[in-house]
């Protein structure tokens, strides 16, 4: 039952990322009454009432206090976000479509893992994966643009230990957060690499597809049938225009060596093997479509990865190398390898709440003693593929009220966040006189218009 509850909790968290699907910026009507409307305009950008209400519900869900002032602060943040997007356009701060698609692919991969496959996501929303991506594409692009502009405004901002201590002292004792059980655990991941035989099978399949296209079959039809690129397969392999340096180097070099309409031989990138058709060159940009097939490891490849990790574990246990050094050098998991294999929270602290742990890891360490390292364990990654990992259980921190000694990194992150928010608020006060802001009369009491 505990595992089921944790799974449902994870589903809820992921679904919350996609609430835009049920309120996607279109005015909705029920019995002739408009239930969504524009409540703020910032130059050419708008804020919808549904955005404010959704943000307010999230605010209340975090245990915050109701009130009109709270709504004003939230509305101000939404207006600031639109101003950041407008400023990004002026400053040529660009988030490429490739970055957005990559972000969407990661979100969909996590959702697929938690829902039990893409088909379950489609059932839940009554839409295809491509429709879901298409509907939220612009919203994700806006989110990433806001994040980038915020980074531009707060670049190089830091907090000193004295500022952290001052920030902590200003928090009322009865408002100090209470942290649940946390653990300090690390992992080393080894992915099974497809061997020469598997790669040769993929290249031969792509050569057959290339031949069929050259004999008259539609590229788009075969791309939809065979391509494993979730971002372009549904569009018949179309990638659209990209500038130099935006795609994998091997892909770009091959594409630019082609004449328009020519199809390449299979070319390998970090994503697998492609056949590429150059469709058009325009200045420093080019448009292509492709079929991507990723070789899959066979049992021999999995056995090789498991044995490699088992040998590495033996070296660690025999003190030939530390776990942290081995993780940095050999782990295939980019999110944890740079931190010596350790999982970390949002503040960067090298420990994580047991409530945030993947259920498989939670139940694994539940049977471990502190200081132990597991044998290689097979597990499913977010993208649906399988790999092996060893887990090191370093420490367990009991539930406690926040204190400066145990939770310095969390407190420092909160102090830095406040400092950054103040900086952005100052920017807003200066910048709002330079843009057109129109607030619906319902929210005039918030005093967000030009000073």
Q: What is the residue extent of each domain of the chain?
A: 2-156, 178-193+298-401, 196-293
359 contact partners, CB below 8 Å, separation of at least 6:
3, 6, 7
Per residue in 143-164, pLDDT (tens digit) is 999 999 988 889 889 999 999 9
Is 351 within 8 Å of 395 (Cβ atoms)? yes
pLDDT value for 395: 94
pLDDT value for 428: 82
CA–chain centroid gap for 344, Å, is 16
pLDDT value for 17: 43
pLDDT value for 29: 39
pLDDT value for 70: 85
Cα–Cα distance measured from residue 227 to residue 272, given in angstroms and rounded to the nearest whole number = 11
What mean pLDDT do residues 107-120 have? 77
Average pLDDT, the chain: 86
CA triplet 101, 105, 108: central angle to 5 degrees? 135
Cα–Cα distance measured from residue 58 to residue 191, given in angstroms and rounded to the nearest whole number = 38
Report the DSSP beta bridge partners of residue 273.
268, 293
In the block, tokens 């802001």 appear at 437
Cα–Cα distance measured from residue 370 to residue 319, given in angstroms and rounded to the nearest whole number = 17
- How far, CA to CA in Å, does 75 sit from each of 55, 154, 436, 442? 9, 21, 16, 12
Residues 342, 344, 348, 349: what is their CA dihedral angle, to the nearest 10 degrees?
Answer: -80
At residue 26, does pLDDT exceed 70? no
Is 357 within 8 Å of 85 (Cβ atoms)? no
25-29, 309-313, 381-385: which is most confident = 309-313
Cα–Cα distance measured from residue 293 to residue 204, given in angstroms and rounded to the nearest whole number = 11
Per residue in 333-364, pLDDT (tens digit) is 988 999 999 998 877 788 899 888 888 999 99
- b/e per residue, 155-173, with b = 16+ CB within 10 A? eeeebeeeebeebbeeeee
Cα–Cα distance measured from residue 364 to residue 272, given in angstroms and rounded to the nearest whole number = 32
Q: Please report the sign of the dihedral spanned by the C-alpha atoms of residue 116, residue 120, residue 124, residue 125.
A: positive
Cα–Cα distance measured from residue 414 to residue 422, given in angstroms and rounded to the nearest whole number = 12
pLDDT confidence bin for 14, thresholds 50/70/90: very low
Cα–Cα distance measured from residue 414 to residue 372, given in angstroms and rounded to the nearest whole number = 33
Nearest to 298 by CA among 378, 198, 196: 198
Nearest to 73 by CA among 56, 54, 86, 85: 56
Percent of the chain past pLDDT 70, that is, above it, reads 90
At residue 11, does pLDDT exceed 70? no
Neighbour count for residue 45 (Cβ, 10 Å):
17
Class of the CATH-defined domain 196-293:
alpha beta
Q: Encoding tokens for residue 168?
A: 């902590």
pLDDT confidence bin for 298, thresholds 50/70/90: very high
What mean pLDDT do residues 247-251 have? 92
- How far, CA to CA in Å, does 433 sit from each of 105, 437, 446, 448? 39, 9, 16, 11
pLDDT value for 92: 87
| pLDDT, greater one: 289 or 111 | 289
- Using a cut of 0.75, tell me whether the model's pTM lies above it: no
The reply to whether 196-293 shares the fold of 178-193+298-401 is: yes
CATH level 3 topology of 178-193+298-401: Chitinase A; domain 3 (3.10.50)
Nearest to 53 by CA among 31, 28, 87: 28
Residue 243 phi, psi dihedral angles, 5° rounding: -90, 170
pLDDT value for 12: 36
Angle of helix 118-125 relative to helix 97-115, nearest 10 degrees, comes to 90
| pLDDT, greater one: 116 or 80 | 80
In the block, tokens 């230990």 appear at 161
Q: Encoding tokens for residue 148?
A: 């980038």
Q: Encoding tokens for residue 257?
A: 């060596």
At residue 278, does pLDDT exceed 70? yes
Is 239 within 8 Å of 232 (Cβ atoms)? yes
CA–chain centroid gap for 323, Å, is 27
User: Can you say whether residue 33 is alpha, beta or left, with left for phi > 0 and alpha for psi between -120 and 50 degrees?
Assistant: beta
CATH dotted code for 2-156: 1.10.4030
């Amino acid at each position: 039952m505990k595992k089921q509850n944790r799974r449902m909790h994870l589903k809820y968290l992921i679904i919350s990322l996609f609430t835009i699907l049920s309120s996607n910026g279109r005015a909705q009507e029920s019995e002739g009454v408009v239930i969504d409307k524009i409540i703020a305009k910032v130059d050419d950008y708008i804020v919808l009432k549904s955005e404010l209400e959704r943000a307010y519900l999230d605010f209340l869900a975090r245990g915050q206090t109701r009130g009109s002032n709270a709504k004003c602060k939230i509305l101000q943040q939404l207006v600031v976000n639109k101003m950041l997007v407008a400023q990004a356009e002026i400053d040529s701060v660009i988030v490429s479509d490739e970055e957005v698609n990559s972000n969407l692919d990661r979100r969909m991969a996590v959702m697929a893992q938690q829902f039990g496959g893409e088909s379950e996501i489609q059932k839940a929303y009554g839409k295809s994966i491509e429709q879901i991506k298409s509907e939220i594409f612009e919203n994700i692009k806006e989110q990433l643009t806001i994040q980038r502009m915020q980074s531009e405004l707060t670049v190089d901002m830091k907090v000193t230990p004295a500022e952290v201590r001052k920030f902590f002292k200003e928090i009322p004792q009865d408002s100090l957060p209470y942290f649940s059980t946390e653990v300090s655990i690390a992992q080393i991941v080894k992915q099974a690499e497809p061997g020469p035989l598997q790669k040769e099978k993929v290249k031969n399949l792509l050569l057959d597809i290339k031949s069929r296209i050259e004999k008259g079959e539609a590229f788009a039809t075969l791309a939809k049938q065979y391509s494993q690129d979730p971002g372009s397969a549904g569009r018949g392999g179309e990638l659209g225009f990209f500038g130099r340096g935006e795609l994998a180097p091997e892909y770009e070099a091959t594409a630019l060596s082609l004449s328009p309409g020519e199809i390449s031989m299979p070319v390998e990138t970090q994503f697998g093997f492609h056949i590429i058709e150059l469709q058009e060159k325009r200045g420093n940009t080019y448009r292509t479509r492709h079929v991507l097939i990723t070789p899959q490891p066979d049992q021999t490849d999995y056995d090789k990865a498991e044995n490699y990790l088992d040998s590495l574990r033996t070296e660690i246990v025999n003190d030939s190398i530390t776990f942290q050094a081995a993780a940095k050098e050999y782990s295939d998991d980019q999110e944890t390898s740079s931190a010596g294999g350790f999982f970390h929270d949002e503040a960067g602290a090298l420990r994580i709440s047991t409530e945030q742990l993947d259920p498989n890891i939670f139940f694994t360490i539940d049977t471990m003693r502190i200081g132990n390292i597991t044998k290689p364990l097979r597990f499913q990654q977010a993208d649906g593929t399988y790999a092996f990992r060893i887990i090191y259980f370093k420490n367990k921190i009991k539930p406690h009220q926040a204190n400066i000694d145990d939770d310095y990194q969390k407190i420092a992150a909160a102090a830095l966040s406040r400092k950054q928010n103040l900086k952005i608020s100052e920017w807003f006060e200066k910048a709002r006189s330079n843009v057109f802001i129109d607030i619906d009369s319902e929210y005039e009491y918030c005093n967000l218009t030009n000073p």
